Structure 1
Amino acid sequence: MPSPNEISFQLARSRRSVPRARALLNAVLGDWGVGQETLDSAELVLSELVTNAVRVPVPSGRRIGVRITRSAADGLLRLEVSDAGGGVPEVRQPERDETGGRGLLLVAALAHRWGHEKRAGGIGKTVFAELKAADIVAEPAVREVAAVMVGAGQQVRVKTVWRTVVDVRRDQRAPAGSSVLLRFDDGLALRVTATEPLAVRTVPDCG
């Protein structure tokens, strides 16, 4: 079961993935109680990281991985974008008449810390940025989250009934953005958009 303090998803290598990444980020940070100033900075940083990943030459069929995590104890928000391309990100100092090349300058200015590391379990790299987010809230026992954050083993309130999720499938090909299909232990299935707010709680550990 994924941690309630992190969310991961994949995006196609397309310019349309940049606004989709921002929409999912908005949904996640809204659930986490992040304030507008932090959200604005996170949007800019994630947009630049995803834009760079889209531009990197990679083998056909490869997708972009995005991971967002929070640490309420440390007051940190971490954004990770992975791609299968080679090379390493470098901050450039563009000339005044250049229209591009300032993305990583912006990331470096907004982030508390940023860098890159070898992509876990595959070729390529992961570029990360950590932002100070003192307004991140601790995880409540029952919370309202975007559907894309729900994991197997959690319980979702459907109307007035709590149902246990046994399987989660994400459809990134949906024309209006990704959708999520939730299957429950009683056989019921529910398809919702990735940003649909759902009431969720963790199943008590009886073991």
Structure 2
Amino acid sequence: MDITRLYEIPRRFDLKISAYAENVYLVRNLVDQAVDTWGLSEDARFAGQLVLTELTTNAVRLYEGREIHVWVSNAARPDLLELAVWDPDPDNLPRVLPPTEYGESGRGLALAWELSGQRLGWYRSATARGKVVWARVGP
């Protein structure tokens, strides 16, 4: 056993949850864990929690009861939060819509788009049937 592996700082935190509204708070805890481990700013915490909550809420709304995967990574850069949500539907691709004054929905993805500095996208998963919606928060 290589004892140095016990002290490596993880570069990714993962969570598998059932897509229910009651579970969305768990992704905020995931961002807290990542920000605390990597020593990131409170601005990164706030933006990361809000963006990942919005991405997760979209998956919960569309795939209630199904399993979704959520993760936070800083593998690309130590000061950059990479946030992602996998859901089981490869064909229902998200669209960033301009919010309307009285619209009841559609604001979350637009908010995530802005908070991520337009670093938001999606792709069909190569490893499991479904898609990944991702965003990057940080400098």
Q: Shorter-chain TM-score: what band?
A: 0.7 to 0.9
Q: Displacement of 1:73 after TM fit? A: 4.3
Q: How many angstroms apart in 2 are the aligned matches of 1:73 and 1:49?
A: 21
Q: Which has more radius of gyration?
A: 1
Give yes or no for contact 2:38–2:78 (8 Å, CA) kept in 1: no
Matched with 1:111 is: 116
The higher relative CO (CA closer than 8 Å, separation ≥ 6) is in: 2
| Aligned-pair identity (%) | 32
The residue that corresponds to 1:127 in the other structure is 133
- Tell me, in whole angstroms, the C-alpha distance in 2 between the residues paired with 1:19 and 1:125: 22
- Report 1:190-205 matches (<5 A): none
Q: 1:12-56 CA deviation, whole Å, 9 max, x = no partner?
A: 110012111111221221111111111100010000000001112
- In structure 1, the gaps of 5 or more residues are 134-207
Number of the residue aligned with 2:53: 47
Spell out the pairing of 1:122-161 with structure 2 (5 A cutoff): 122-133=128-139
CA distance in 2 between partners of 1:26 and 1:117 (Å): 26
Q: 2: distance between equivalents of 1:97 and 1:5?
A: 40
State the number of aligned residues. 131
Confirm or deny: 8 A CA contact 2:12 2:75 kept in the other structure: no
Q: Which amino acid aligns with 1:131?
A: V
* Aligned residues: CA RMSD: 2.2
4+ residue segments displaced more than 2 Å: 71-75
Q: CA deviation at 1:74?
A: 6.0
1:57 deviates by: 3.8
- Aligned AA (1:124): G
Instruction: Give 2:87's aligned residue.
Output: 83
Letter of the aligned partner of 1:91 in structure 2? Answer: V
TM-score, scaled to structure 2: 0.83
Task: Tell me if structure 1 keeps the 8 A contact 2:99–2:107.
Answer: yes
Supply the distance in 2 between the matched residues of 1:74 and 1:4 (Cα, whole angstroms). Answer: 11
**Structure having the larger proportion of residues in strand:** 1
2:38 to 22, 25, 32: 32
Counterpart-to-counterpart distance in 2, 1:73 and 1:80? 16
Q: TM-score, normalised by structure 1?
A: 0.58
